[in-house]
């Protein structure tokens, strides 16, 4: 149960929304649109070259990186006027 939260998944195949029936449905939103709506962002990209576009993350969000790679540019995050909380796994 996601208690009313909208849960999106973005990958190479597109953007998906988790439904109340616990299935993913493809939606026509860009990564930028999803990040601008998100209060919590979890990255887990298994690629050392990929970085979260921090300019798309809304101020006050929590960003969690669960990848073995550094998907988040922490220097860019701290320059955002309203703090973004980061958690490294």
Question: What's the pLDDT tens digit per position in 24-55?
Answer: 999 999 999 999 999 899 999 999 999 999 88
CA distances, 24 to each of 9, 39, 82 (Å)? 8, 20, 32
For the chain, how far is it from start to end, CA to CA, in angstroms? 24
pTM of the model: 0.80
**Could you tell me the pLDDT band of residue 1, with boundaries at 50, 70 and 90?**
low
Pairwise CA distance, residues 65 & 45, whole Å:
9
Average pLDDT of 50-77?
88
């Amino acid at each position: 149960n996601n208690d009313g939260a909208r849960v999106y998944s973005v990958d190479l195949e597109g953007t998906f929304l988790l439904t109340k029936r616990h299935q993913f449905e493809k939606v026509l939103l860009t990564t930028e649109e999803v990040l601008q709506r998100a209060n919590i962002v979890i990255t887990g990209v298994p690629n050392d070259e990929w970085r979260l576009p921090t300019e798309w993350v809304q101020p006050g969000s929590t960003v969690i990186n669960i990848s073995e790679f550094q998907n988040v540019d922490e220097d860019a995050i701290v320059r955002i006027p309203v703090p973004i909380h980061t958690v490294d796994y």
